[in-house]
Amino acid sequence: MTERIVLAYSGGLDTSVAIGWIAEATGAEVVAVAVDVGQGGESLETIRQRALGCGAVEAYVADARDEFANEYCMPTLRANALYMDAYPLVSAISRPVIVKHLVAAAREFNATTVAHGCTGKGNDQVRFEVGIQTLGPDLKCIAPVRDLALTRDKAIAFAEEKGLPIETTKKNPFSIDQNVWGRAVETGFLEDIWNGPTKDVYDYTDSPEFSPAPDEVVITFKQGIPVAIDGHAVTPLQAIEELNRRAGAQGVGRIDIVEDRLVGIKSREIYEAPGAMALITAHRELENVTVEREQARFKKTVDQRWTELVYDGQWFSPLKRSLETFIDDTQRYVTGEVRMELHGGRATVTGRRSDVGLYDFNLATYDTGDTFDQSMARGFIEIFGLSSKVASGRDQRAGS
> Cα-atom radius of gyration of the chain, to the nearest Å?
25
Q: How is domain 176-291+334-353 classified at the architecture level of CATH?
A: Alpha-Beta Complex (3.90)
Provide the terminal-to-terminal Cα distance of the chain, rounded to the nearest Å. 81
The two domains 176-291+334-353 and 362-395 share their CATH topology (first three levels equal): no
Known binder of ligand: residue 172?
A: no
| pLDDT at 153 (0 to 100) | 82
Known binder of ligand: residue 15?
A: yes
Known binder of ligand: residue 124?
A: yes
Domain parsing of the chain, residue ranges: 4-171, 176-291+334-353, 362-395
Closest by CA position to 134, among listed 108, 118, 114: 114
| pLDDT at 317 (0 to 100) | 97
**Beta-sheet strands, E only, within the chain:** 4-8, 29-36, 58-63, 113-115, 140-142, 175-179, 182-186, 215-222, 225-229, 232-233, 254-260, 266-272, 336-343, 346-353
Closest by CA position to 246, among listed 342, 180, 181, 344: 342
Active site residues: 14, 95, 124, 175
pLDDT by position in tens, the chain (length 400): 789 999 999 888 888 999 999 999 999 999 999 999 999 888 999 999 999 999 999 999 999 999 999 999 999 999 999 999 999 999 999 999 999 999 999 999 999 999 998 888 889 999 999 999 999 999 999 998 888 788 778 888 888 888 888 775 556 668 889 999 999 998 888 999 999 999 999 999 999 998 899 999 999 999 999 999 999 999 999 999 999 999 999 999 999 999 999 989 999 999 999 999 999 999 999 999 999 999 999 999 999 999 999 999 999 999 999 999 999 999 999 999 999 999 999 999 999 999 999 998 888 888 887 888 888 888 899 999 999 999 999 999 998 6
Domain 4-171 fold is Rossmann fold (3.40.50)
Residue 182 contacts residue 272 (beta carbons within 8 Å): yes
**CATH code, 362-395:** 1.20.5.470
Closest by CA position to 123, among listed 150, 97, 85, 94: 94
Known binder of ligand: residue 28?
A: no
**Confidence (pTM):** 0.93
